[in-house]
Chain A
Amino acid sequence: MKLKTSEYFIKEVATSLKRNNWMSLASIGTVTISLFILGMFLMIVVNLDRMASTLESQVQISVYLKDDISQKQSEELKEKLEAMQGIDSVAYISKEKAMERFQERLGDQKYLLDSLDSTNPLPNAYEITVKNPQMVKTASKEIEKLPGVDTAVYAQDVVEHLFDLTQLIRSIGLAIIIFMFGATIFIISNTIRLTVFARRKEIAIMKYVGATDWFIRWPFLLEGVVLGFIGGSVAIILLRLSYLALTQKIYDMMTFFPLIPLYPFLTYMTIAIIFSGIIIGALGSVISIKRYLKV
C-alpha cells in the first residue's frame, strides 16, 4: 500500500468517525459492555478451574497393606509405588497412627472404640498423591495388583463429581464466550453498515472505475478496528479495576482462597481483550460491506 493511499484511508476513517459520532460512541459502548462481560466470565472460569484443580490435587489414594507382610516387603512396596508413573508422593501411615487419627476424628464419641479391647483392626497403609488427578482411577487399579496390597481406595464420588463440575463450568463458559463474541460482531457490523449504507453510491462508483475490493474495504475495516480497539481498551481498564477490587475483597475474607496469581494473568487478559476487540471490529466491518461490493 502506498503512503499517500494510507493517508487517504486514515482521513476517511477520521471523517467517518466524526460524522457518525453518536453511532460510533454507541458501538464503542457495546464493544466495551460485551468484552467486559466476556472478560468477567473468563476470570470466573479461570479461577473456578484453578479451584477445581487445587481440590483435585488433594485427592489421595489410600493403599491398605495386608496384615501378614514383613517390614522388608513393605519397604519394597514403597519403592515400587514411588517408581510408578505420575506418583507425586508416598507417605507411610502405620496402623497406630491411623488409630490415633481415627480417635481424633471421633472426638467425644471415642468411647465407641472401647469394645475393641485395645486390639487395632486398622491396617498399615500408604497415602499417595498423584500428579494428575485424572489418573487416580487407573493408578489405584494398578496398585491393587502389587504384592502385599490388600486394597487401594480413593474418594471416587468426590473425584468424579469434581471432574463433571469443572467440565460443566468450562463448557458453559465457552458457550457464553462464543455467544458474546457473535453478538458483539453482529452489533458492530450493524454500526458499520450505517456508514457503508450512507456511502453505497460512492462504493458503486469506486467499483465502476475499477477500484479493487480491498481498496474499498480498507477504510471500513480500519473504522471497525478503531472502534473495537477503543471498546476493548475501555473494557480492560474496567475489568482490571473490578478484578483488583474483587480479589482484595475475597482475600480479606479468606486468606487461603486459591485464586489465580494476578500476573501474568492480567497481562494475558489485557492482550486477549484488546485483540478480541480488534478482531470483532474487523469481522463486523467485513461482514457489513460484503453486500455492497457486488456491483
Chain B
Amino acid sequence: MKSPNEINIIKMKDISMVYDNGAIALDKVNINITRGEFVFIVGTSGAGKSTFIKLLLREILPTSGLLVVNGYNINNMSTRELPYLRRSLGVIFQDYRLLPNKTVYENVAFAMRVIESPRRLILRSVNSVLDIVGLREKYKCFPSQLSGGEQQRVAIARAIVNNPSVIIADEPTGNLDPETSWEIMDIFQRINAVGTTIVMATHDKTIVDTMQKRVIAIENGRIIRDEASGGYGYET
C-alpha cells in the first residue's frame, strides 16, 4: 500500500465530501502537492478548509474520489495502518491542544512516548525541537504559564519531534496577534527550508500575501484558484 518514494506527497483526484446532513463541504477537488512544497489553503469561513485538512489526517473518509497521502491510499488502507500514516504527519490546530497537566517538556515527549520511542532518543529529540521553537528555557513550565504564541510553539515542537515529512496546520495563527503570528510563520519557514512539506489552512490575508507561496483557494467546496506563487487574491 505504501510507496514512500512517490514525489506527490498528497494526491487528490475528484475528491468530494458530503456530510451526513447533506452539506457538500468539498466538490470534486483535484490537487497534487509535491515533497518540500509550502502550500496555503485559503478561503472564507465555511469554504471547506478544515474538511480538506481532516481528509488528509483520515479523520473523516471522502464520500468519493481518490486520495493518497504519503503513499497511503486513504480509501483502501486498513485501520491498523492509520497510526503509521499519522506518524508521518505533524498536525497543528488553532487551539494548540496541549495537555494542561503536563509541562512543556512532557507535552512534547508525550508524542514520542506514545509511539514507544527509546528514552535516550526522547531526551535528545525533545531538547533539539525545543531549541528550534525557542522554548528550551521554559521546558518546566505548564501551558497555563505561557502566552498563546508560546503554546503554539510547543504544539509545533510536538508536531515535528517525530520527524514527519508533512506538517498539516489548520489556522495555526487564528488565535494569535499579527506579531506573534509572524514568529510562528518564521518557524514554519525554517522547517520548510530543511525539506518538510507544509500544508496550512488560513484566512489570514497579510500572511499569505507577504509569503508569496503556493496558494490554493477554496470557495463553497470548490477550488477556484491554484497559483504556484501568489497572494490571497481578494478582499476579506
Residues of A bordering B, CB below 8 Å = 2, 4-5, 8, 201-202, 204-213, 215-216, 295
Contact = CB atoms under 8 A, between A and B. Distances in A.
Contact of B111 (A201, A209, A215): A209
A20 to B, nearest CB: 15
A201 B99 contact: yes
A295 B91 CA distance: 13
A132 to B, nearest CB: 52
B110 interface: yes
A208 B99 contact: no
Contact of A4 (B57, B91, B99, B119): B119
Contact of A211 (B57, B99, B114): B114
Given A210-B86, A210-B114, 10 more contacts: A2-B116, A5-B116, A205-B97, A206-B114, A208-B57, A209-B110, A209-B162, A210-B83, A211-B83, A213-B83
A201 B97 contact: yes
Interface in B75-93: 79, 83-87, 91
B91 to A, nearest CB: 5
Contact of B114 (A4, A215, A295): A215
Nearest to B80: A212
Nearest to B59: A295
Interface string B46-85: 0000000000010100000000000000000001000111
Contacts of A210: 83-87, 114-115, 162
A124 B216 CA distance: 107
B158 interface: yes
B23 to A, nearest CB: 20
Contacts of A211: 83, 114-115
B179 to A, nearest CB: 28
Q: Which 9 A-B pairs have the closest CB atoms?
A: A210-B87, A210-B86, A211-B114, A209-B111, A210-B83, A212-B83, A206-B114, A208-B91, A210-B115
Contacts of B83: 210-213
B190 interface: no
A143 B158 CA distance: 85
B113 interface: yes
Do most interface residues of chain A lie in helix, strand or loop, or is the interface mixed?
helix
Given A4-B119, A295-B59, A209 B86 contact: yes
Contacts of B87: 209-210
Given A201-B97, A201-B99, A295-B59, A207 B116 contact: no
22 contacts: A4-B119, A8-B113, A201-B99, A204-B97, A205-B97, A205-B99, A205-B110, A205-B111, A207-B86, A208-B57, A208-B86, A208-B97, A209-B86, A209-B115, A209-B162, A210-B86, A210-B87, A210-B114, A211-B83, A212-B83, A213-B83, A216-B114
B99 A209 contact: no
A205 B107 CA distance: 10
A208 B59 CA distance: 9
Nearest to A293: B79
Interface in B86-109: 86-87, 91, 97, 99
Interface of B: 57, 59, 79, 83-87, 91, 97, 99, 110-111, 113-116, 119, 158, 162
A8 B87 CA distance: 20
B51 to A, nearest CB: 16
Contacts of A215: 114-116
A211 B115 CA distance: 5
Contacts of B79: 213
Contacts of A207: 86
A295 B83 CA distance: 11
A212 B110 CA distance: 14
B121 to A, nearest CB: 12
A201 B86 CA distance: 17
Contacts of B116: 2, 5, 215
A181 to B, nearest CB: 29
A209 B59 CA distance: 12
Nearest to B101: A202
Contacts of B57: 208
Contacts of B114: 206, 209-211, 215-216
Contacts of A213: 79, 83
**Which among A5, A201, A212, A213 has the greatest number of chain B C-beta atoms within 10 A?**
A212
Contacts of B99: 201-202, 205
A212 B81 CA distance: 9
Nearest to B84: A210
Contacts of B110: 205-206, 209
A126 B97 CA distance: 87
A210 B162 CA distance: 10
A211 B162 CA distance: 12
Contacts of B115: 209-211, 215
B202 to A, nearest CB: 19
